[in-house]
Amino acid sequence: MQGCRGNWLSLFVILFVSSLIQIQAQSQITCFNRNSRCFLKKISCPKQCPSSSPSDPKAKVCYVNCNSPICKAECKNRKPNCNGPGSACLDPRFIGGDGVVFYFHGRRNEHFTLISDHNLQINARFIGLRPEGRSRDYTWIQSLGILFDSHKFSLEAKKSPIWNEELDHLKFSFNGEEIEIPGTHLSLWQSPEKALRVERTSPKNSITVTIPEIAEISVNVVPVTKEDDRIHNYQIPDNDCFAHLEVQFRFYDLSPEVEGVLGRTYRPDFENPAKPGVAMPVVGGEEKYKTTSLLGDDCRACVFSPGGGLEKKENVVMEYGLLDCTGGAANGNGIVCKK
């Protein structure tokens, strides 16, 4: 009898300690967006994603959506969700802030503005090729140029003849100087004033760029695969795998005047010209959004004016693209995910 009691007591102690460890493993995160009702609140992470910096590169992470109607932590994938709002993947296929899919082809070896707001400018350099007999270029996003305040940051996918996933294909610069980020999971680089941070979400080819209270950008480098080449008949040459970026943006403080290929889809008065039901709805704007360089702000529609922009009376909040929809409506802060 005493032996049974001892076994039950030992089992109880083990379960109690395990529960304590689980509770402690569930971290708390804080919203630092001063414009949020969640500002400086400590919020517990869900059991499905107990950490904001998991050691497993494939694990979902805990984050707080400061723009949510309620202060609640949520799970998200660290790599871009190419089927979520704010994404730009493939050749290039965008999903706007309004959730509408559209294609913007641009032109190879030229630069186009994705986002232009009073305090933020994001441009993209397009690479591509035009096989004989084609009327337009096949294009992909090869690099991003980001301007905010008085800072300039760029990231690019290095050109490579053959794709090797064991090599890192990312290159970075901040205010004109090249920066190095160690090739280990969760390696972090921050600008001197902590105005920008870059964190590796896997040892190679995947990062998250954060501009506090302004934007977060998930980036992944991929090649044009042989299967994609076969399906679309890109006619990729043997000396270039066309390494390019998959990206997804989350914005915290866009104004109603925001412009850009992607930015305009966040405007409250925007009517998307992409025709519903069309397999590849292509939208224009090449001349309107073309810039002279990756870090230029001289497109015809650009509104970027750090320190001298118009006073913003209201902000646009439309970012649920990285939510984990696997848990149904309970995890969506009142929003039901639909395909």
First to last CA, the chain: 59
Percent of the chain with pLDDT over 90: 62
The residue-averaged pLDDT of 119-138 equals 94
The residue-averaged pLDDT of 29-51 equals 86
Q: Helix, strand or coil for residue 10? A: helix
State yes or no: pLDDT of 197 exceeds 90.
yes
The whole-angstrom separation of Cα 128 and Cα 242 is 8
- Which pLDDT does position 172 carry in this prediction? 98
Q: Which residue has the higher pLDDT, 314 or 243?
A: 243
CB atoms within 10 A of CB 188: 13
- Which pLDDT does position 55 carry in this prediction? 80
pLDDT, one tens digit per residue, over 292-319 is 999 999 999 999 998 754 444 445 544 4
State yes or no: pLDDT of 9 exceeds 90.
no
The whole-angstrom separation of Cα 141 and Cα 152 is 18
Q: Which residue has the higher pLDDT, 17 or 187?
A: 187
Q: Which residue, 142, 135, 115, 102, is CA-closest to 245?
A: 142
State yes or no: pLDDT of 335 exceeds 60.
no
State yes or no: pLDDT of 210 exceeds 70.
yes
Percent of the chain with pLDDT over 70: 83
- Which pLDDT does position 27 carry in this prediction? 81
Q: Which residue has the higher pLDDT, 256 or 330?
A: 256
Q: Helix, strand or coil for residue 238? A: coil
The whole-angstrom separation of Cα 142 and Cα 168 is 14
- Which pLDDT does position 160 carry in this prediction? 95
- Which pLDDT does position 235 carry in this prediction? 95
The whole-angstrom separation of Cα 316 and Cα 148 is 18
State yes or no: pLDDT of 328 exceeds 50.
no
The whole-angstrom separation of Cα 24 and Cα 113 is 44
DSSP string for residues in 21-42 = HHHHHS-EEEB--TTSTTBT-E
The residue-averaged pLDDT of 223-250 equals 96
State yes or no: pLDDT of 72 exceeds 90.
no
Distances (CA, A) of 165 to 127, 179, 203: 20, 21, 10
Q: Which residue, 322, 260, 267, 270, is CA-closest to 291?
A: 260
The residue-averaged pLDDT of 86-93 equals 96
- pTM equals 0.81
DSSP structure class, residue 56: S
The residue-averaged pLDDT of 132-144 equals 94
- Which pLDDT does position 310 carry in this prediction? 43
Tokens encoding 212? 């506090």
DSSP structure class, residue 241: -
pLDDT band at 4 (very low <50, low <70, confident <90, very high): low
Tokens encoding 192? 């001197």
Give the mean pLDDT of the chain: 85
Q: Which residue has the higher pLDDT, 127 or 316?
A: 127
